[in-house]
């Protein structure tokens, strides 16, 4: 699930139960995982569920009903069809149009089998229920609930449209973003991964760096480039990892980041995570401490405090 730059809005502090719109081919209704998913979402008190009760070609009334449900929903769960169908294609266009109009990344892909991803959505991440159903469902619900709470309810879209390679972090939005996570640091553990990159980018902007946030579809081994031109010019490469709650960062991404750092001849590379590092990863950091730096959850709290200190 990729949700990007933030527009923070104020609202009621009471928990919001996100409305999830299910878009699917009617051929999928016979799939056992589909029936299980629908039943589990219906029973879960943390979310609300809406999905089409009938075929799309019945008439204008159903078409209007679908449009209204799409507008009112917080998230669109699009079940990737094993066989493409006209009805699903129409729904997908409606979902996509609503996402562009609202400026919020609401669309989530869900895989129940090996169906082909529609071309227009191939850049998106996918929730895969074919591997570990229970943990995937729990993560899906937790992420939708966390992302739909009043303080973080609106997100600007750069996932499905052409975007500039540099995503600028604005002072007003960025400062409010840092303020929120300074007051609610535990939310970092379940925050949207792209939003985590924005948070780190904003902190480095506050520290006095020129910040570049790379495109989400990049394959460069770093999420952020931070440059400061002062007495000595420095260039930091920053990779952001937000594992699932209870997870950790092993040595592989640390080695990969080190390789990118050497290839780009940067001053230093930093791996920031909302979790913690494995012992072998920490040993690798220690052996390359002048070229690599680790920032775990506690280190992020230090960054948040330092940012707050320098803000007027």
Confidence at 161, pLDDT banded by 50, 70, 90: very low
* Position 70 in a domain: yes
- With beta carbons less than 8 A apart as the criterion, state whether 176 and 151 touch: no
Please say if the pLDDT value at position 311 is more than 60: no
Residue 148 tokens, joined? 């739909």
Residue 3 clears pLDDT 90, i.e. is over it: no
> Where in the sequence is the domain holding 233, given as residue range(s)?
171-310
Instruction: Name the more confident of 194 and 272.
Output: 272
Q: Which of 120, 155, 190 is the last residue of a domain?
A: 155
- 3-state DSSP call for residue 270? strand
In the chain the first and final C-alpha atoms are separated, in Å, by 34
- On whether the pTM is more than 0.95, the answer is no
Say whether 271 sits in a helix, a strand or coil: strand
CATH number, domain at 83?
3.40.50.10140
> Out of 84-88, 184-188, 203-207, 212-216, which region has the weakest mean confidence (pLDDT)?
84-88
Res. 37: pLDDT tops 50: yes
Residues 10 and 140 in one domain: yes
CA-wise closest residue to 175 among 21, 312, 1, 28: 312
Q: Burial of 244 by CB count in 10 Å (0-12 exposed, 13-18 middle, 19+ buried)? A: middle
Q: Of residues 307 and 70, which shows the higher confidence score?
A: 307
Structurally, the chain folds into a number of domains equal to 2
CA 126-124-40 angle, 5° bins? 30
Instruction: Determine contact, residues 274/246, Cβ cutoff 8 Å.
Output: no
Weakest-pLDDT range from 20-29, 108-117, 119-128: 119-128
- Tens of pLDDT along 177-207? 788 888 888 888 888 888 888 899 989 988 9
- The pLDDT tens digits of the residues spanning 164-183 come to 233 333 445 567 778 888 88
- Which residues make Cβ contacts (< 8 Å) with residue 12, sequence separation at least 6? 150
- Note whether 75 and 191 are same-domain residues: no
β-bridge mates for residue 268, sequence order: 236
Same structural domain, 187 and 305: yes
The 10s digit of each residue's pLDDT in 48-69 is 988 655 444 445 555 677 777 7
Per-residue pLDDT at 62: 58
One domain for residues 84 and 225? no
CA atoms of 97 and 106, how far apart (whole Å): 11
- The answer to whether residue 95 sits within a structural domain is yes
DSSP 267: S
Shared domain check, 187 and 123 = no
Residue 94 has pLDDT above 90, yes or no: no
Query: Which residue is listed with tokens 């074919």?
Result: 130
Is position 160 within any domain? no
């Amino acid at each position: 699930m990729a949700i990007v730059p933030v527009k923070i809005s104020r609202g009621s502090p009471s928990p919001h139960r996100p409305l999830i719109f299910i878009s699917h081919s009617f051929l999928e209704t016979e799939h056992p995982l589909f029936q299980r998913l629908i039943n589990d979402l219906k029973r879960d008190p943390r979310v609300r569920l809406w999905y089409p009760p009938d075929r799309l070609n019945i008439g204008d009334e159903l078409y209007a009903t679908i449009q209204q449900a799409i507008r009112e929903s917080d998230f669109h769960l699009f079940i990737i069809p094993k066989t493409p169908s006209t009805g699903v294609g129409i729904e997908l266009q409606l979902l996509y149009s609503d996402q562009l109009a609202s400026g919020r990344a609401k669309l989530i892909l869900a895989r129940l089998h090996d169906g082909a991803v529609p071309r227009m959505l191939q850049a998106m991440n996918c929730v895969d229920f074919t591997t570990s159903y229970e943990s995937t469902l729990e993560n899906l619900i937790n992420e939708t609930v966390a992302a739909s709470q009043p303080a973080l309810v609106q997100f600007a879209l750069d996932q499905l449209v052409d975007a500039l390679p540099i995503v600028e972090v604005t002072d007003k939005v960025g400062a409010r973003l840092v303020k929120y996570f300074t007051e609610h640091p535990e939310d970092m553990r379940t925050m949207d991964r792209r939003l985590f990159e924005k948070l780190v980018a904003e902190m480095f902007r506050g520290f006095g760096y020129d910040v570049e946030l790379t495109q989400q579809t990049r394959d460069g081994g770093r999420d952020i480039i931070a440059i400061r031109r002062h007495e000595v010019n420095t260039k930091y490469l920053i990779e952001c990892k937000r594992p699932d709650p209870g997870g950790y960062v092993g040595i592989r991404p640390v080695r990969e980041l080190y390789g990118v750092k050497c290839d780009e001849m940067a001053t230093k590379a930093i791996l920031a995570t909302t979790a913690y590092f494995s012992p072998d990863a920490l040993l690798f950091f220690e052996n390359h401490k002048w070229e690599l730096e680790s920032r775990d959850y506690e280190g992020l709290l230090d960054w948040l405090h330092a940012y707050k200190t320098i803000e007027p």
